[in-house]
Homo-oligomer: A and B are copies of this chain.
Amino acid sequence: MAIIPSTLGEFGRIERFFRPLTRNFPGALELSDDAAVVSVPTGQELVVTTDAIVAGVHFLASDPARDIARKALRVNLSDLAAKGAHPLAYTLTLATGRELDDSWVEAFAAGLADDQLQYGIALAGGDSVSTAGPIWASITAFGLAEAGRMVRRSGARPGDVVLVTGTIGDAALGLAVAQGRLAVEDADKVTLLDRYRLPQPRTHLARAIAEYANAAIDISDGLAADFGHLCRASGASGSIAVPNIPLSSAARNVLAADGTRMSDILTGGDDYEVLLTASAQSASALQMAAAARGIALTEVGSITSAENTNSAGQTTFIDGAGRKMTIDRTGWTHS
């Protein structure tokens, strides 16, 4: 790739492309100081999350700059949503190489601008560095929650219902398609690749999660692993009815052709949906809130008491015939 020197330089890029992203956040001081100021209203606290994406691992360097920017922001917004936090601001460190010209940076900033508008967040500050290696972006995002009310992984209670937003497994199948490990119809290919490329953070459900959920986690390591994290943190056990897991029609088509793909769906990761638990009554309120916002929210399981300390975090997956399933790297089997 040709090396096209920046005609703007670092300061020019900041002024032209990034300063406008601070417009709704006066504490950014227009990126003209060493630091930003973040005010937290009395009675609230800041929810802070940080996630980085690296070319070749989380995206391809050849992906559109606009999509890379949005993925970097959205994986963080997804964490805030799962914690029931209202997005406030973020800092960005962007590492680019000399092969990226000003128009690439302009498109990257345009992606951020679009998502800032969609999710109600603003740039507070940042750093730019150059790298001879893969490009990367690291974001630290700030949200607001009522003091002491951030929804944790550890709040699940026996008797809670387990719910998930959206559909599960599409991103993992999309990655398999991208890597040539899975062949699907063209229409499904578009759907699955899109789901891998661009998470849909459930920001608009954050308020209801804060109000009604006992526990929640952003599904990034895969439904099975993250459900385990949540149950372990809560000192509880849990079960999920596999037939109830919400699947896209593309994922259903994949499963119809090869049932062993259920393993990818349950363990593949990168869903960026929210797994949450709530009392049955609160679950109804959550369902209503989700429906009002056009977000699918599906009951998939329940939380039970851990029989003993060793079984805290134990999760069970049940098939349509009520049999326990065991999942490992080679697939899933009835145990």
Contact = CB atoms under 8 A, between A and B. Distances in A.
Interface residues of A, number: 58
A134 interface: yes
A14 B131 CA distance: 26
A131 B50 contact: no
Contact of A35 (B48, B56, B125, B127): B48
A8 interface: no
B138 A93 contact: yes
A233 B147 CA distance: 36
Given A54-B129, A131-B134, A91 B35 contact: no
A112 interface: no
Contacts of A82: 34
A136 B96 CA distance: 13
Contacts of A34: 49, 79, 82-83, 153, 217-218
Given A34-B79, A82-B34, A133-B133, A125 B57 contact: no
Contact of A152 (B33, B45, B154): B33
7 contacts: A33-B233, A37-B46, A39-B147, A42-B42, A46-B46, A52-B138, A131-B134
